[in-house]
Structure 1
Amino acid sequence: MAQQMIWGIRAETAQEEWIYNFWNEQLGIMNQMEPCEGTCNDHFVYWWHAHVIDALADGFERSRNPRYLARIDRVIEGVKRLSGDTLLHNYYDDMEWMALALLRVYDATKLAVYKDHVMNLWESIKTAWNGHCGGGMAWKKDQLDYKNTPANAPASILAARLYQRFGDTEDFEWAVRIYRWTKENLVDPQTGFVWDGMNRLGDGKIDYDWEYTYCQGVWIGAGLELFAITGDTAYLSDAVRTAETATARFAPDPGGIMADEGEDDCGLFKGIFVRYLRDLLRIRPDLHPIRRMLFRNAEALWNRSRNERGLIGRSWQGPVEPKVQLSAQLSGLMLLEMVASLPNAAPSD
């Protein structure tokens, strides 16, 4: 059986196990822990559910099964209900993730309702830009002087994708402006490694000791989108340099298995990283070390970090925690969907 078919079956199995283990029919969301024991949704995490929509969109793109779209609609309703009948939020990066996910749903359906959601979010997101730290997008509405990669790189991705779909030159200008600020302030000019943020404590300092996979992933994604628009290979070179640096740092040989980055939000970071590495491989399939790394991690997850119920651990080398957070399950599911979407690829490539 072809490798792509095998991974497609595994991804579909993981989607079914995810729904079985986490879906909350009453709330119309995924439980945020399994087992939930009645309290796991007391603090609703909006941005995890943006990635719930992303993962369901992965399933639809692979299978074209409309049940994924029906589930997405339920999740949107659930998120709105738990957020005060709105998709707007205090955290700019959370809204960016939601807009990116819903733009994918618009791409799949061409239904105006999803575009309307995206554009409403985008109008709020644009208020993040201000003069603190010389520009850049703020992390949240009540801390406008803290600027970080999670609020800037996804905003550049979103603006670039909006330009590609709807042709508003202001969106392209937004994408470039945000990208330039991020590169000048949060990307190591020597290595391309992406730092998390600056001025978190109001002291103007960069958090050099915060090293996270998802910062690398979204920066790679921003470069790919601007390369797609402009054809300027400098953007692609930025993406490749960061991908190679980050892969060497987070998945060093021998073995090349990415480490557990921690609980709560940190459980989602690797899934974001592998999503944008997959996007890079679609443009640069010759980057064989990165391809091999993704497949090694997927094999490790499938064989060592997935229990008899299909729950996935934070560490892709196992073991699975007694209580599995939705964030960790999402990262594992996204890894399986990403390798399933790479054609004719095997770990030995």
Structure 2
Amino acid sequence: MSIMNRADFAQDALMGNYWNETTSIMNQWYPREANRADENYYYWWQAHVIDVFVDGLNRTGDRLYKDRIEAIYEGLLRSNGGTFLHHYYDDMEWLGLALLRAYQATGNEAYKQSALELWADIKTAWSEHMGGGMAWNKGQLDYKNTPANAPAAILAARLFQCFGDKSDLEWALKIYKWNKENLVDPETGFVWDGINRLGDMQIDYDWAFTYCQGVYIGAGVELYRSTGDRSFLEEAKRTAHACIVRLCSPGNHVLPDEGIDDTGLFKGILVRYLVELLRAAPEMNEVREAVLANRAILLEQGLDKASGLCGPSWESLPVVPVQLSVQLSGVMLLEAAEALQRLE
């Protein structure tokens, strides 16, 4: 089976195992019976579903993926009460990023307008508390973290690249600057999660998550693309190296099992932005090796060949029920590996 077929296999397994025809969004668990009425509604997971459908569309040009994007766009709008606005700023940022990519892939003006409406609301996250930065949610405006800042910088930079509004570039620069000065280890480039979560002005140094590294890398790459300033690219490369050294298993580069729920998505997000780094810096062989090593271990040990399911550890076969967030990371890895092959 070719890498392309593996990516399509993963995409078809995602649809077959999780798609809900009634709601036109993905169920949160496979099998469906594991879904509970009292569970939280994870809006931001659905944003990443759109992102992987865009991956499939860009890879194949198949109208099937375009139809899937249209269906979940409408389903997510209904499920969120007729609006894409949300309590969590980082959740809106993920959807804004996905819809901007969907617009670029399809030309559908509705996606563009929705992304711009989200961006207008996202900008209300900024305050001068702690010298600036984007708040995590609308009920805790004094808690600032990388998950709310780095994706916002990516979105602002991409909006600038797409539409040419210099104010978006200014937003990207100031958000990135705050993130770098407050939540990045100046010695190594490793990215910390957040500050003042408990109202004590402390940084969560022990929250070492893959996706914090990924989104900061992504922000650096997009600012390099927007400005031509190589210092942003060098900072992204430094963080990637720190991430591999600290979070990958020595010897085989395998990324850690970060569990289920939201953290189940983290590795997929990291891998997505490692590939964006390789587009800008193809000389980063350790990054290429890490992506390919994780793909190999997933295909050899972690992917159920019958169901297409994968677990939170890419070194072990999944145990049902399997969460959507976890499954998405596996799909993102296989799409990323195929994109990486096309770069070579």
Aligned equivalent of 1:221: 218
Counterpart CA distance in 2 for 1:192 and 1:233 is 16
Map residues 116-127 of structure 1 onto 2, 5 A cutoff: 116-127=113-124
**What do residues 139-185 of structure 1 show as CA deviations (whole Å, max 9, x unaligned)?**
00011000000000000000001111111111010000000000000
The aligned amino acid for 1:121 is: L
Aligned equivalent of 2:161: 164
CA positional deviation for 1:199:
0.3
SS at match of 1:144: strand
Aligned equivalent of 2:264: 267
Q: Does 1:103 align with 2:104?
A: no
Counterpart CA distance in 1 for 2:36 and 2:265 is 17
Counterpart CA distance in 1 for 2:132 and 2:291 is 35
Aligned equivalent of 2:338: 340
Map residues 18-167 of structure 1 onto 2, 5 A cutoff: 18-37=14-33, 39-40=35-36, 42-167=39-164
Aligned equivalent of 2:183: 186
Map residues 312-327 of structure 1 onto 2, 5 A cutoff: 312-327=310-325
Residues 1:190 and 1:324: Cα distance change in structure 2 (over 3 Å) = same
Aligned equivalent of 1:297: 294
CA positional deviation for 1:284:
1.4
C-alpha contact (below 8 Å) 1:33/1:40 kept by paired residues: no
C-alpha contact (below 8 Å) 2:100/2:111 kept by paired residues: yes
Aligned equivalent of 1:16: 12
**In angstroms, what is the RMSD of aligned CA positions?**
1.3
Counterpart CA distance in 2 for 1:136 and 1:299 is 38
Residues 1:56 and 1:344: Cα distance change in structure 2 (over 3 Å) = closer
C-alpha contact (below 8 Å) 2:34/2:321 kept by paired residues: no
SS at match of 1:342: helix
Counterpart CA distance in 1 for 2:130 and 2:36 is 37
What is the TM-score normalised by the length of structure 2?
A: 0.97
The aligned amino acid for 2:235 is: D
Counterpart CA distance in 1 for 2:196 and 2:77 is 32
Moved over 4 A (4+): none
SS at match of 1:202: coil
Mind listing any 5+ residue stretches in structure 1 that lack a counterpart? none
SS at match of 1:37: helix
SS at match of 1:101: helix
Counterpart CA distance in 1 for 2:148 and 2:103 is 22
**What do residues 82-134 of structure 1 show as CA deviations (whole Å, max 9, x unaligned)?**
11111000000000000000000110122211110011000000000012111
Counterpart CA distance in 2 for 1:209 and 1:343 is 35
SS at match of 1:343: helix
CA positional deviation for 1:223:
0.4
The aligned amino acid for 1:29 is: I
The percentage of counterpart residues that share the same residue type is 54
The aligned amino acid for 1:253 is: P
CA positional deviation for 1:343:
2.9
The aligned amino acid for 2:15 is: I
SS at match of 2:33: coil
Residues 1:144 and 1:344: Cα distance change in structure 2 (over 3 Å) = closer
**What do residues 58-83 of structure 1 show as CA deviations (whole Å, max 9, x unaligned)?**
00000111111111111111111111
Aligned length: 342
C-alpha contact (below 8 Å) 1:44/1:82 kept by paired residues: no
